[in-house]
C-alpha cells in the first residue's frame, strides 16, 4: 500500500490536502489508460515495413543493446512472414514484446535509422517489433525455443524481472535446471510493477512471463527475498551458479524537512499500486501534484496522476531540460499530457499542516563552475502530494557483504560475472548499466551464456 497517505476526504476542505478517489467519470479511466501506441494493423505494418531500406550492417542493429537483426525482422514482416520475424527478434531478446513497448527507441534504434538521419522520420521499429511479437504470442503462445537436454546443473536466478527472466530462459535453452526467485507476489519485476500502465495494457507483463516460462525447466518461487527468507551464501551452497537480477530495492530520499509527512510519497510505490489496482477509480490522487526528479519515473508518475484526474501536475527538476534522463519523447509526452516541467528548481522543504503536506518550497538553481548551487530565491507551490522520483538504490545489506560493490552497485565484468566465481549479476543492480529493460535483458543473456560456459567446462 501507499505509504504516508492521509485520511481520504471526498469533500474539499480549506484546511487539509485535497486527495480523492474517483475524480473522473467511470469510462474515462479505460480511455486514459488505454494503449499508448495501439497495435499496427496488418496494412499499416506492411506500409511501415516497406519504408525500411534493409541497410547493410544496419546502424539500428548496432544501436540495439540486444543486437536484434532489425532489417531482417522488418523484411520478414514485409514478406508476409510475421512468425519468422518474431523468431528473429526472440532469438536475441526473449522479452522482445515488452521491449517493443517500453524501449526508448528514439534514443536507440530509431535515433540512428538512416531515415531519421535523412528525413527526420525513422522507420517505426518499436511498433513493428510489437506487431511481430504480438502476432507470434497471439498465434503460438509458447516460446519458440525448446528446452535443451537436461544437464543436471542447477542455477538460482534471483529476481524475476527482465534480467532474471532473460537469464532463466537462456539457461533453460541450454538445459540447466533453473529456480527463479522473486520477492514479490508476481514475477515480472518492473515490467509488472514499474512501467507506466499505458505502455503495457491487458496484463501483457504477466502474459510475457508465462510465454517465457513455457519453455520448461524453470521453477518460479515468489515471495522469496534475498536478505529476508533467501540467503546468498545458502544459494551458493545449494546451486551450481547464482544470477542476481535483484534491481534496486530502495528509493533515494530528498533529505529535506517534511519528508516524513503524509502526502510525501515514493513514485515507484504509487506506480506499483496503480499497476496492481483492479479499479483505478479507487486510487486516491491529489488535486495538485509536484514530482521531484527528471527521469522516466518522474514522467511516468506525473503523466499517470494527470490521467487519474489530478488538476495541476508539475515536474520540478534541478537542472535544464536537456539534462533530464527522460527522453525527449517522454518529456514531450508529459507536456502534451498537460504536465508542467519546471527546470532549475530543487526541493528545499515540504510544508505540512496537521501532519499532511500542503505545499513544497523550491529553490531556483544555477550551474556555477560545473556544480549546481541554489540561488537562494524560492518558489512555493501548493501540493497535495509530492512524489520523489530521484533514483533508487541497492539494498546492500541484503547481499551480506560478500560482493564487490562500487557506487552502491554490484561490480561485474564483461561476462556479467561478479567478484564471486559462481555468482553473476545483471540489470539495474549492477554498475555501469543503462537502467533500461533492454539492457537488463542483454545482461541476463550474456550472463546465461557465461554461466553455461562455466558449467559446461
Partner 1 sequence: MADLRTEFIGIKSPNPFWLASAPPTDKEYNVVRAFKAGWGGVVWKTLGEDPPVVNVNGPRYGAIHGKDRQLIGLNNIELITDRPLEVNLREIKQVKRDWPDRALVVSLMVPCEEQSWIDILRKVEDTGADGVELNFGCPHGMSERGMGSAVGQVPEYIEMVTRWVKQHSRMPCIVKLTPNITDVRKPAQAAHAGGADAVSLINTINSITGVDLDMMSPSPTVDGKGAHGGYCGPAVKPIALNMVAEIARDPVTRGLPISGIGGVTTWRDAAEFMALGAGTVQVCTAAMTYGFKVVQDMIDGLGDWMDEKGHTSVDQFTGAAVPNVTDWQYLNLNYIAKAKIDQDLCIKCGRCHIACEDTSHQAITSMVDGARKFEVIDEECVGCNLCVNVCPVENCITLEPMAAGSIDPRTKRPVEKDYANWTTHPNNPMAVKEAAE
Contacts with partner 1 by CB under 8 A lie at 43, 46-47, 50, 53-59, 114-115, 117-118
212: number of Cβ within 10 Å? 25
What is the spatial order of strands in the sheet that 340-342 belongs to? 264-266, 385-388, 288-292, 312-316, 340-342
The CA distance from 175 to 152, in Å, is 8
> Contact, 221 vs 181, CB < 8 A?
yes
- Shortest Cβ distance from residue 111 to partner 1 (Å)? 14
The distance in angstroms from the start CA to the end CA of the chain is 47
Residue nearer to partner 1 on the CB measure, 54 or 228: 54
Three-state secondary structure call for residue 346: strand
| Residue in the block written with cell 559446461 | 456
- Shortest Cβ distance from residue 48 to partner 1 (Å)? 10
Q: Output helix, strand, coil percentages for the chain, rounded to the nearest 5.
A: 40, 20, 40
- Shortest Cβ distance from residue 57 to partner 1 (Å)? 6
- Shortest Cβ distance from residue 190 to partner 1 (Å)? 34
Residue nearer to partner 1 on the CB measure, 60 or 254: 60
- Shortest Cβ distance from residue 138 to partner 1 (Å)? 21
Q: 149: which residues sit within 8 A by CB, 6+ positions away? A: 175
Residue nearer to partner 1 on the CB measure, 15 or 56: 56
Residue nearer to partner 1 on the CB measure, 58 or 196: 58
Residue nearer to partner 1 on the CB measure, 75 or 170: 75
> Contact, 9 vs 288, CB < 8 A?
no
- Shortest Cβ distance from residue 115 to partner 1 (Å)? 8
Residue nearer to partner 1 on the CB measure, 46 or 206: 46
- Shortest Cβ distance from residue 59 to partner 1 (Å)? 7
Strand 177-182 with 218-222, pairing: parallel
DSSP secondary structure letter of residue 324 = -
Residue nearer to partner 1 on the CB measure, 123 or 187: 123
Amino acid at each position: 500500500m501507499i505509504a504516508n497517505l492521509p485520511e481520504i476526504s471526498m469533500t474539499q476542505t480549506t484546511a487539509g490536502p485535497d486527495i480523492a478517489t474517483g475524480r473522473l467519470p467511470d469510462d474515462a479511466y479505460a480511455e486514459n489508460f488505454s494503449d499508448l501506441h495501439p497495435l499496427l494493423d496488418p496494412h499499416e505494418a506492411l506500409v511501415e515495413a516497406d519504408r525500411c531500406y534493409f541497410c547493410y550492417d544496419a546502424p539500428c542493429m548496432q544501436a540495439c543493446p540486444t543486437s536484434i537483426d532489425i532489417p531482417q525482422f522488418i523484411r520478414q514482416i514485409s514478406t508476409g512472414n510475421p512468425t519468422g520475424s518474431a523468431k528473429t527478434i526472440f532469438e536475441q531478446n526473449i522479452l522482445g514484446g515488452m521491449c517493443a513497448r517500453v524501449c526508448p527507441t528514439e534514443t536507440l534504434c530509431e535515433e540512428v535509422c538512416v531515415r531519421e538521419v535523412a528525413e527526420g522520420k525513422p522507420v517505426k521499429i518499436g511498433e513493428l517489433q510489437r506487431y511481430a511479437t504480438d502476432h507470434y504470442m497471439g498465434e503460438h503462445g509458447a516460446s519458440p525455443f525448446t528446452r535443451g537436454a537436461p544437464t543436471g546443473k542447477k542455477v538460482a536466478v534471483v529476481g524475476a524481472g527482465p534480467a532474471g527472466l532473460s537469464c532463466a530462459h537462456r539457461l533453460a535453452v541450454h538445459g540447466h535446471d533453473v529456480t527463479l526467485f522473486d520477492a514479490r507476489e508476481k514475477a515480472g519485476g518492473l515490467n509488472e510493477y514499474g512501467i507506466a500502465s499505458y505502455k503495457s495494457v491487458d496484463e501483457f507483463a504477466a502474459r510475457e512471463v508465462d510465454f517465457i516460462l513455457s519453455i520448461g525447466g524453470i521453477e518460479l518461487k515468489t515471495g522469496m527475498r534475498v536478505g529476508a527468507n533467501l540467503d546468498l551464501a545458502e544459494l551458493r551452497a545449494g546451486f551450481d551458479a547464482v544470477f542476481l537480477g535483484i534491481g534496486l530495492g530502495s528509493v533515494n530520499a530528498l533529505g529535506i524537512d517534511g519528508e516524513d509527512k503524509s502526502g510525501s510519497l515514493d513514485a515507484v510505490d504509487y506506480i506499483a499500486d496503480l499497476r496492481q489496482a483492479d479499479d483505478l477509480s479507487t486510487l486516491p490522487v491529489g488535486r495538485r501534484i509536484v514530482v521531484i526528479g527528471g527521469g522516466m519515473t518522474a514522467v511516468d508518475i506525473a503523466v499517470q496522476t494527470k490521467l487519474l484526474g489530478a488538476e495541476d501536475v508539475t515536474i520540478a527538476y534541478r537542472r535544464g531540460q536537456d539534462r533530464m534522463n527522460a527522453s525527449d519523447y517522454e518529456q514531450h509526452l508529459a507536456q502534451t499530457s498537460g504536465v508542467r516541467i519546471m527546470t532549475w528548481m530543487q526541493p528545499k522543504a515540504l510544508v505540512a499542516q496537521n501532519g499532511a503536506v500542503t505545499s513544497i518550497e523550491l529553490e531556483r538553481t544555477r550551474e556555477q563552475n560545473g556544480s549546481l548551487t541554489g540561488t537562494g530565491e524560492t518558489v512555493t507551490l501548493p501540493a497535495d502530494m509530492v512524489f520523489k522520483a530521484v533514483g533508487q538504490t541497492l539494498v546492500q545489506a541484503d547481499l551480506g557483504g560478500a560482493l564487490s560493490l562500487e557506487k552502491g552497485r554490484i561490480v561485474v565484468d564483461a561476462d556479467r560475472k561478479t567478484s564471486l566465481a559462481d555468482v553473476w549479476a545483471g540489470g539495474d543492480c549492477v554498475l555501469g548499466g543503462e537502467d533500461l529493460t533492454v539492457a537488463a535483458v542483454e545482461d541476463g543473456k550474456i550472463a546465461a551464456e557465461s554461466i553455461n560456459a562455466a558449467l559446461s567446462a
